[in-house]
Amino acid sequence: MDTARAPLHYSEYDTRLAAYALIVRDERVLLTWFNGSDGGTPCWSLPGGGVEFDESVQDAIVREAYEESGYHVELGRPLTTHVFTRPAAPGRRPFRSVRVLYEARVVGGTLGVVEVDGTTDKAEWFELTDLPDGPFADIVMIALEHR
């Protein structure tokens, strides 16, 4: 008897589409401080976040980069798409996260968080060879590996 479980149908789990920018300038990377106000763990991350229902991935990256860093960005090449899943738990459906990463470059603006009452408290530039002491969202290392 085959005991393998059939794959979940898309209607049986929740999905979040997110998009992030890897912004490197003069061997420095722009990171944002995620404050964990949505229940997550505070950590350094990349500018980015959830894609709104009616926007493209590319538009979401440009919007999120501005909200979280104060910079206007121009997208470069796509770096990778990363997927992770989390099983169901009491009171919670299974979850699938699809994260799209692009290179981007600053084309204007001023460093500083623009979004009010969001999940990002600050944005800072760090030397690629001297990243701050963690914690880090895994998306940072995933992006740097695909750079």
pLDDT digits (tens, 9 = 90+) for 39-76: 789 999 999 999 999 999 999 999 999 999 999 999 99
Q: Phi and psi dihedrals of 65, rounded to 5? A: -60, -40
Domains by residue range for the chain, with CATH = 13-145 (3.90.79.10)
Confidence of residue 123 (pLDDT cuts 50, 70, 90): very high
Confidence of residue 3 (pLDDT cuts 50, 70, 90): low
pLDDT of residue 5: 74
H/E stretch holding 63: helix 57-69
Strands (E), the chain: 14-25, 28-34, 43-45, 48-50, 71-86, 95-109, 120-127
Under DSSP, is residue 143 helix (H, G, I), strand (E, B) or coil? helix
